[in-house]
Amino acid sequence: MSTHAKRERLLLADLLETAGPDAPTLCEGWTTRDLAAHVVVRERRPDAAGGILIKQLAPRLDRVMAEYTGKPYEELIQLIRTGPPRFSPFSLKPVDEASNIIEFYVHTEDVRRAQPDWSARELDAVFQDALWSRLERTARLMGRGVPTGLVLRRPDGQTVVAHRGTPVVTVTGEPSELVLFSYGRQSKAKVELDGDEAAIAKLHETKQLGI
């Protein structure tokens, strides 16, 4: 496992363990138990995980999720900590970095920011750059359903166009916060929005950008 993905994986496992199985998360309708089951199913049950994106597979995903949600919570935490089995594509370092750096960062914040006393973490520049690199690759996918033009901008001025159109809304923040904004956690992301007021209002109504 790569450094960033492994760090976020272990932090997520620690947070889930500390929070217990019934704590709230930013994933609507999910407790920490549900979130833990999701992480395990995604890595260990590729036969069902496709239902996250493919509607036809959703019933199978629901059945497998129910199976894993019923497992002892401590077992789920241990499965997250130990990582994917050897036969899983996620066990390959390049795949782990590409697929899990954002996955684990976002879910870590799903647990942290669901608490009333949360505060933003101080993330090192290397990790911020890694998140930005992934966001540059996925921004157009994430922004495909946005009803306005959308530009994501770092404080240093680097930008990526998530959706072409007018009027344009520019969202400024650290890459970590832009990731959360792009993955549907707008209410908890520490960002600034600039643009036409009506366009900003439409953007706020967009429940989730992309997927």
pLDDT digits (tens, 9 = 90+) for 116-141: 999 999 999 999 999 999 999 998 88
Residue 211 near residue 193 (C-beta atoms within 8 A): no
CA 33, CA 24: separation in Å to the nearest integer?
Answer: 9
Compute CA 69 distance to the chain's CA centroid, rounded to the nearest angstrom. Answer: 20
- Give tens-digit pLDDT for 47-78: 776 767 777 777 888 898 999 999 999 999 99
What residue ranges define each of the domains in the chain, with the CATH number in brackets?
Answer: 3-112 (no CATH), 138-205 (3.30.1050)
CA 5, CA 7: separation in Å to the nearest integer?
Answer: 5
Decide if pLDDT at 204 tops 70: yes
Which residues are within 8 A (CB) of 192 and not within 5 positions of it... i.e. 6 or more apart?
Answer: 171, 172, 173
Residue 32 near residue 44 (C-beta atoms within 8 A): no
